[in-house]
A and B are shown apart, each in its own frame.
Chain A
């Protein structure tokens, strides 16, 4: 057997002297260059630093030949790890089953951005592909030296490198490097997060040589979930752990002025942790912590109720001062075209605050031991939470490890990062590990919200009915009033309640489409938050941040223009869309759904039960989706049943069709839920939608009976995302279907029965 010994002591001198550092049983002569490159490429016993420029930060070959892939992003329920393992297996030429993906642990992975912007495959997978390709290149080069066979005469199968003309000459990855670490430098672009990119010298494979990528491989983590063998972040326990609960004010913005610790003295181990606006309790048992939080007598500061009446929300947005205005797209002379128009069509659309309302309220466990901080969290962004905890606790970043464990659902910046910071403050204060879980009302009432907004669209037509100009503007709360992660105390409730100076960010977006109009302008305006500190209406990223609201408006409006010129909604779109892949998704959806070409609304229905169909389409960072909704409406009750969806989805190269279909189904159902039901309610003092009654989501009795997904695979185009694009067009597709069925345009989400009934009468 061929093996290396004492490899870390392999020095230029020992190679030159042919000394005993290296035992090569094949006994063939090697050139010095080969030997030296092997040395450079070879493993070492000690792990190189966990930095983005080290191959060992992404890939390791275990002694048994299995491969560990260390991934600085994580799965949020779509089975991303399967796709990543497919990519790694293909690039490395090892069996799929030999790859295990370790996700979102700051102790084993570098900051690849966490779960963010549907970039798991698009950016995270790209980096894992490059790292795997480099690992393969290095291993083949090593094998070339060891077997004395030129690299181009070697093939790799299932982790074994062999000479193409003499199969007896073979060596496995495990024999060469198993259990040791790559000592290979990558060409890192010095970026952290989503944009981190660190290729090696290797070129990745041509997609036509992919064998594992593209296969419908199943998730191995489903069985553990149905047999209760996997841990959620809620299930983690450590010795000496106590339970925490937080206490939030009944009037947003008020802070405790008097806390009567004696009021909970009967509860075993109950302690109060109070610092300015931060107020929590801990107790030995979870139920005791819950009771203590309920019983604790607190006097709160008197503050002016910070919010407008909910009924005034959209008026407030219209009148609010603009904090930032941005025109993101402009061509032609829009104003002149509108001035010359024969007819102008205008409409305004409204979208409410929405909650992540994760299945369970967030939970985190923080242990501080010997100066080291460990946090188990369902966060989407462990590496950012690591920074946040370091700042919150005043310790060096290297002392903090954040381990992602599946949380109770996550759809963006939900309550997870706040919970991790709160737990850290509690743990530091009581000197014990603290497991903190929020209560339901805090999960739904106090998570960062998807921003409320209004959207104004107008189109100019000439005398022949041709669209000569188009303008689209959104005005709303910022998508980054608090940032998309908890890396800075100013962006967490713990920081805000403890008085960290705030910095509300500005961000919104414009429709992502390829309608070519001679004169076109699209932009946005953001307004200040309603309350600048510890607000239950602070806004941030909620799945496909601002995508559903923008495209609800823009794709409803395109339909309105189509109706105004008496055109079929698809035919009208195809007249103006310029990108071929966009045209292709629309045509694919239309064909699958057997679209009946005619203008909307249909005119052949009487009675209270009517049906309609609607289409909407959009892009998202390279992905294109067309959604056709078929809905039934009961005019007498206003109740909508979004019965059937047809989705055509093009995200470039397909990695796993099963995973993609599931991912799309989840997007559609959540999209229907947000369209038909979801709206954060509030009064002048606080958020009043705090549970599943006051914040209803779609029930199984209302679930679409059918979701057909047409996948358009482009192996030649690098894969883009799928985690969010297909939620984007759902609301408009439904709105357009309602219009088709009834001739009535609903321009405010959600389409609750009362609202629909009122609109129809």
Chain B
């Protein structure tokens, strides 16, 4: 049975009519048209679907709507804009990280939360914080450069 859920996403409230067990990812992508979180695995193994829920990175592919409540959901679109970019977005452009770009969402969302809480991280701390995220194209070398650049910007 479907139910009505009111979601607070990027500061706007939306109503979605869906199964309580439907993962947040599908509400964001299909109902709200927010394409930034991607489906990579649906198994909490890759990070492509990460959003912030009350400021914490969460894997929306395994977060049922019923568990979201009135928490504040922020997607990559809510992280920054071309006019007002988040430092990690600026750094990604500066370092020209992409290959296919499908994984970007997870790295940016995880980095943003990490650098907010941790100033001047060491390389080992950065790697640790990002461990588990997947990038099949192998952009890791550039990702590390971008995260270090963003860390400096957020100093």
Q: Do A and B bind each other?
A: yes
- Answer yes or no: B85 CB below 8 A from chain A CBs: yes
B135→A359 contact, CB < 8 A: yes
Residues of A contacting B18 with CB < 8 Å? 285, 287
Alpha-carbon distance A82/B108, docked complex (angstroms)? 24
Give every chain B residue within 8 A of A46 (Cβ-Cβ). none
B-side interface mostly: loop
Residue on A with the closest CB to B101? Answer: A225
Contact B35 A669 (CB under 8 A): no
Task: Look across to chain B and name the residue whose beta carbon is closest to the beta carbon of A266.
Answer: B1
Select A359's contact among B29, B34, B134, beta carbons within 8 Å. B134
Assess whether A408 is in contact with B38, with CB atoms less than 8 Å apart: yes
Measured CB to CB, the closest approach of chain B to A490, in angstroms, equals 28
Q: Does A249 contact B (CB under 8 A)?
A: no
Interface string of B18-48 (1 = CB under 8 A from A): 1100110010011000111011111101101
Residues of A within 8 A of B93 (CB): 222-223, 226
Contacts of A532 in B (CB 8 A): none
Give the residues from 645 to 693 in chain A that come closer than 8 angstroms, CB to CB, to chain B.
658, 662, 665-670, 673, 691-693
Instruction: Give the distance in Å from the alpha carbon of A76 to the alpha carbon of B139 in the complex.
Output: 13
User: How many angstroms from the CA of A554 to the CA of B75 in the assembled complex?
Assistant: 48
Query: Beyond A218-B96, A228-B77, A359-B100, is A700–B43 a contact (Cβ under 8 Å)?
Result: no
Asked, given contacts A359-B134, A700-B127, A700-B143, whether A692 binds B100 with beta carbons under 8 Å apart, the answer is no
Contacts of A226 in B (CB 8 A): 76, 85, 89, 92-93, 104, 108
Given the known interface contacts A218-B96, A667-B138, A669-B139, the answer about A437 and B41 at a Cβ–Cβ threshold of 8 Å is: no
**Which chain B residue shows the least CB distance to A658?**
B96
A407 in contact with B22 given A700-B140, A703-B127 (CB within 8 Å): no
Chain B residues closer than 8 Å to A665, beta-carbon distance: 138-139, 141-142
Residues of A near B138 (CB, < 8 A) are 665-670, 673, 698
- Tell me if B117 is interfacial: C-beta within 8 Å of chain A: no
Interface size on A (CB < 8 Å)?
57
A704 within 8 A of B: yes
Interface residue? B12 (CB, 8 A): no
A221 to chain B, nearest CB (A): 7
Given contacts A77-B137, A287-B18, contact A359 B43 (CB under 8 A): no
Q: In the complex, how many residues of chain B place their beta carbon closer than 8 angstroms to a beta carbon of chain A?
A: 58
Q: Does A219 contact B (CB under 8 A)?
A: yes
CB < 8 Å neighbour of B141 from A407, A408, A704: A704
Kindly state whether residue B82 has any CB partner on chain A within 8 Å: yes
Does B116 sit within 8 A of A, measured CB to CB?
Answer: no
Q: Assuming the A-B contacts A228-B76, A665-B139, A707-B141, are A406 and B85 also in contact, with contact meaning beta carbons closer than 8 angstroms in the complex?
A: no
Cβ of B13 under 8 Å from chain A: no
Q: B101 and A77: CB pair below 8 A?
A: yes
Give CA–CA (A226, B8) in the complex, Å.
22
| A360 contact from B48, B97, B130, Cβ within 8 A | B48
Known: A222-B96, A287-B22. A700 touches B101 (CB 8 A): no
- Whole-angstrom CA separation of A79 from B19 in the bound complex: 41
In the bound complex, CA of A78 to CA of B22 (Å): 35
1/0 per position for B52-66, CB-CB distance to A under 8 A?
000000000000000
Q: If A234-B38, A700-B143, A703-B144 touch, does A225 touch B104 (CB 8 Å cutoff)?
A: yes
Cβ-defined contact, A219 with B19, below 8 A:
no
* Complexed CA–CA distance, A673 and B138 (Å): 9
**How far is B93's CA from A78's CA once the two chains are assembled, in angstroms?**
14
A698 to B131, CA, bound (A): 10
Given contacts A360-B48, A408-B40, A700-B130, contact A221 B98 (CB under 8 A): yes
**Are A666 and B92 touching (Cβ within 8 A)?**
no
A279 to B41, CA, bound (A): 21
Most buried by A among B22, B26, B97, B98: B98
Among B29, B123, B134: residue with most chain A CB under 10 A: B134
Q: Are A227 and B89 in contact (CB under 8 A)?
A: yes
Residue of chain B at shortest CB distance from A704: B141
In the complex, which of the residues A222, A225, A439 has the most CB atoms of chain B within 10 Å of its own CB atom? A225
Listed in ascending order, the chain B residues whose CB lies under 8 Å from chain A are: 18-19, 22-23, 26, 29-30, 34-36, 38-43, 45-46, 48, 75-77, 80-82, 85, 89, 92-93, 96-105, 108, 123, 127-128, 130-144
CB<8 Å pairs between A and B, sample of 10: A77-B98, A77-B137, A221-B98, A285-B26, A359-B135, A408-B100, A440-B43, A666-B139, A699-B132, A701-B131
Where the two chains meet, the residues of A that have a C-beta atom closer than 8 Å to any C-beta of B are 76-79, 218-219, 221-223, 225-228, 230-232, 234-235, 285-287, 291, 357-361, 406-411, 437, 439-440, 658, 662, 665-670, 673, 691-693, 697-701, 703-705, 707
